[in-house]
A and B are shown apart, each in its own frame.
Chain A
Amino acid sequence: MTAVHQVLAVAWTEFRFAFRRGAPVAVTILTGLLVSAGILVLMLESLPTYASALTFTPDQQARWLAAGFTLEQHARFVTNGPADMLVMGTLLGGLLMFVALLLLPAATISALPADRVCGVAELLRSTPLTGARYLAGKVLGVLWAVALTGMAMLGLFFAAADILFFSSMHIGLSWSACRYYLEIAFLDGSLFLVWGTSVGVLLGAIFRTRRAAIFPGLLAGGFSIFFWLTAFRPPSTDSGLQFTDRLQYFLVQNYHSIIGELAQTGGFNAGLFGLSRQVEFSQVVLMYLTVIGVLSILACLARLWLQWKENF
């Protein structure tokens, strides 16, 4: 029970500092804004074209039916089509998540050096707190702040998308698109945040001052992107998605899109939307395990460093 209290106490204190010091929260906000803007701007480009297609003249209806589509499909297309296009925009907008990988390590790397700069580190080491619990608390605290900010940004994105849809077409974001975004945020986006945050905090174990840690933090960010692209490139490269990660690819594959359905009916191979190759679930699990494994190794190294250098 003491261990839980200690970890939570460190986490709660670090959570407050993450907001007061600002860097981790600022980077998460920046990433959220970039990703949201990236998706919405792409959507804005397509909206006028889409809005004009909503006018369904008798002539157009005849051609629609002649092509093998049904009126029920058209009704669903009117409701879900914009959301589908928004989701497609995610593929490119999602690339901006790499900003989190690049900047989060530098933003969170001062969590441990800050205790040394304040002069509190020795005091903390004089308590029964172990190095492992200290590290766990620090990582959890910063993650907590970053996740909370990320969720706020997701809410902001939903609000902006809904306003955009209502103002141009008088329909809201469909539930299937909302679910997709929730999935991609929690399953995919959170993985970026966990990686960027944990790498930063753990790497901070070896630096005595914040200033000394910033540049290595940026290097770690660059390395993170390199690692991500090397380790998590999706199996299919014919769709030009070689820069996205395996999980995003998996989520898009499983998104039940009306556009995908229409494309299939029309005999067009859409590539991604469940019509050509499937990503196996086991590969996504492997991706998660890889991230957990690498972070665990980093945590062990940080723990050993504290033990060796500070008898912590």
Chain B
Amino acid sequence: MIIVSQLTKTFGKKVQALRGVDLEIGEGMFGLVGPNGAGKTTLMRILAGLIRPTSGSATVLGNDVSTRRGKQAVKSVLGYLPQELGLYPDLSALEFLEYIALLKGVGDRTERNRQLAEILELVGLAADAQRRLRTFSGGMKRRVGIAQALLGEPQLLIVDEPTSGLDPEERVRLRNLLSRMAERCTVILSTHIVEDISQSCSDLAVLEAGRVIYRGQPAGLIEAVRGRVWSLTTGGAALDPRLVVVSTLHVQSGVQYRVLSAAAPASGATPLEPSLEDGYLWLMQQSKKNGDGGV
């Protein structure tokens, strides 16, 4: 269980990344979604014990991450994939993973080899394990990142924007892998790609400007926008700028829009089944309208 209470983080004197975040995260896969600069990475880094909060508290599996002992305790059960993953280009994947395994305290050679073989197979890198990391594609590097996070059999897995820069096939593979991991440990998935959340998380929080503006199930977010998603086809005429346009498709009869609106935006608009992305965009718009970040 992870409990975050009134957490704030300020960088310098002006940048307030987190503004009193309250969260409780249970087992399974938890999604943290929000636009760029919402404070997701800052929250993740605090939970991982990498940075200190300015105020408030964060307890991870019973350990207070603001204390040195608590921080070390969290790190001993943590698997972490940072947003900007760096690797040693001169090492092979196997050398790098072995290094991280030793740092995570997997000292027994037999156990280390077992974990390395199992994880390399799991991420589909067994055949490339001896290759230098400089020769890896972006997707393969990301998989090395996932592999290192899984070493040491972590109880908590924090993955920050794991699918950014991946092709669709790699993204699906990674989501499935994380879902499998969620069966045996808590997984916190941070992303600004709503589709990643909708496909894998049963529980989520939406962060915007350092505040939690939604906390609940994806279904709740979808329900919030039900009856407000419309399909509208125009012959090229400009749309009302107040409408939130989710997608635009050029068809033979003109331009087909998927828009969000509390009422039918025009005669001829037809209601559509809402998606999580619709719910997310609606939430963002409402948050901006209210101006205080709360919905």
- Give A contacts to B, CB under 8 Å: 1-2, 5-6, 8-10, 13, 16-17, 20, 118-130, 311
Query: Do B102 and A311 touch across chains, with their CB atoms under 8 A apart?
Result: no
Contacts of A10 in B (CB 8 A): 103
Q: Give which listed residue, A9, A13, A129, A311, contacts B50 with CB less than 8 A.
A: A311
**Interface of B with A (CB < 8 Å)?**
48-52, 71-72, 75-76, 78, 80, 82, 84-91, 99-100, 102-105, 107, 148
Cβ of B50 and Cβ of A126 under 8 Å apart?
A: yes
- Report whether B102 and A123 are in contact in the complex, using a CB–CB cutoff of 8 Å: no
Which residue on A lies nearest to B112, using beta carbons? A5
Asked whether A123 and B148 contact (CB < 8 A) given A1-B107, A9-B99, A128-B75, the answer is yes
Set B51, B86, B90, B103: member contacting A127, Cβ < 8 A: B103
- A16–B102 Cα distance when bound, in Å, is 16
A10–chain B nearest beta-carbon distance, Å: 8
Number of A-B contacts (CB under 8 A): 71
Is the pair A123, B75 in contact by a Cβ cutoff of 8 Å?
no
Contact partners of A125 in chain B: CB under 8 A: 50
B49 pairs with A311, CB closer than 8 A: yes
Residues in A with CB closer than 8 Å to B48 are 126
Q: Which of A9, A120, A127 contacts B87 (CB 8 A)?
A: A120
Contact partner of A2 among B71, B84, B90, B105, CB < 8 A?
B105
Q: Are A123 and B85 in contact (CB under 8 A)?
A: yes
- Given the known interface contacts A13-B99, A122-B82, A311-B50, the answer about A127 and B104 at a Cβ–Cβ threshold of 8 Å is yes
Q: Which of A8, A13, A130 has the most CB of B within 10 A?
A: A13
Give Cα A162 to B131, complex, Å. Answer: 44
Across the interface, name the chain B residue whose C-beta is closest to A121.
Answer: B86
Name A117's closest neighbour in chain B (CB-CB).
Answer: B86
Taking a contact as CB atoms under 8 Å apart, the answer to whether B87 and A124 are in contact is no
Complex A-B: 8 CB contacts under 8 Å: A1-B107, A2-B105, A5-B105, A9-B102, A119-B84, A119-B87, A126-B49, A128-B76
Q: Is the CB of A123 within 8 A of B104?
A: no
User: What CA separation (Å) do A123 and B160 show in the bound complex?
Assistant: 12
Residues of A contacting B103 with CB < 8 Å?
6, 9-10, 124, 127-129
Closest partner residue, chain A, to B66 (CB atom): A311
The chain A residue with its CB closest to the CB of B52 is A311
Question: In the complex the two chains form, what is the Cα distance from A120 to B99 in whole Å?
Answer: 12
- Do B89 and A118 touch (CB < 8 A)? yes
State which of B50, B76, B88 has its C-beta within 8 Å of the C-beta of A122: B50
Note all chain B residues with C-beta closer than 8 A to A127: 75, 100, 103-104
Closest to B75 in A: A128
The distance from the CB of B202 to the nearest CB of chain A, in whole angstroms, is 26
CB pair A126–B75 under 8 Å, yes or no, is yes
